[in-house]
Structure 1
Amino acid sequence: MLNQILNVAVVAAETAEHHTELPMPAIAYGAIIMGALLLLMFVTISFTSLGHRHEAVREHADPHRQHPNKHDHGEASQQH
């Protein structure tokens, strides 16, 4: 009984190893991924000027907000 189980396991291990050929060379996968990442980088760089179109405006510190931003550095508590 144990011998049959071991034979089945050996046959399964021998037949489970399949090698298939890639549809294109391995370097092409790297080139495609590099091109996609470069494209995303150039898109990101092209939108960096959007943050510099207008001057920064200070946010009104409202102490009655449900979720205050905590970036007012204590200005809201000094208004009272």
Structure 2
Amino acid sequence: MLATVMTTALSVSAEAAGHESPAPTIAPPFVVGGVLFAIFVVLMFVTLSYTNLGRRHEANEEHADPHRQHPNKHDRHQGASSL
């Protein structure tokens, strides 16, 4: 059973391979690849241009504002009054 299926699949694929033409492209493959490579290099340089944003100034601690409408829960109760 398996041999019959494999033989049929092989013969169908061999028959189809002889009559198939390649898909049309806008340019030769090396030109398409070169353009895509250039686009990705430009995107890489744009990404690398943002690497200095974290080093502009020293990080400052955020003070806990008790009047904030939705205070974060990570301030370890610095803005809460003691009970």
Q: TM-score, normalised by structure 2?
A: 0.53
CA shift for structure 1 position 55 = 0.7
Amino acid paired to 2:58: E
More helix by percentage: 1
Q: Kindly tell me: are residues 73 and 30 of structure 1, through their superposed partners in 2, closer, same or farther at Cα, counting changes over 3 Å? A: farther
Identity of aligned residues (%): 48
After TM superposition, the score normalised by the length of structure 1 is 0.54
> Which sections of structure 2, spanning at least 5 residues, go unmatched?
1-21
For 2:25, the equivalent position in structure 1 comes to 22
Aligned Cα RMSD in Å?
2.4
> Structure 1 unaligned runs (5+)?
1-18
Say which SS state the counterpart of residue 41 (structure 2) adopts. helix
Count of matched residue pairs: 61
Residues 52 and 26 of structure 1, relative CA distance in 2, 3 Å threshold: same
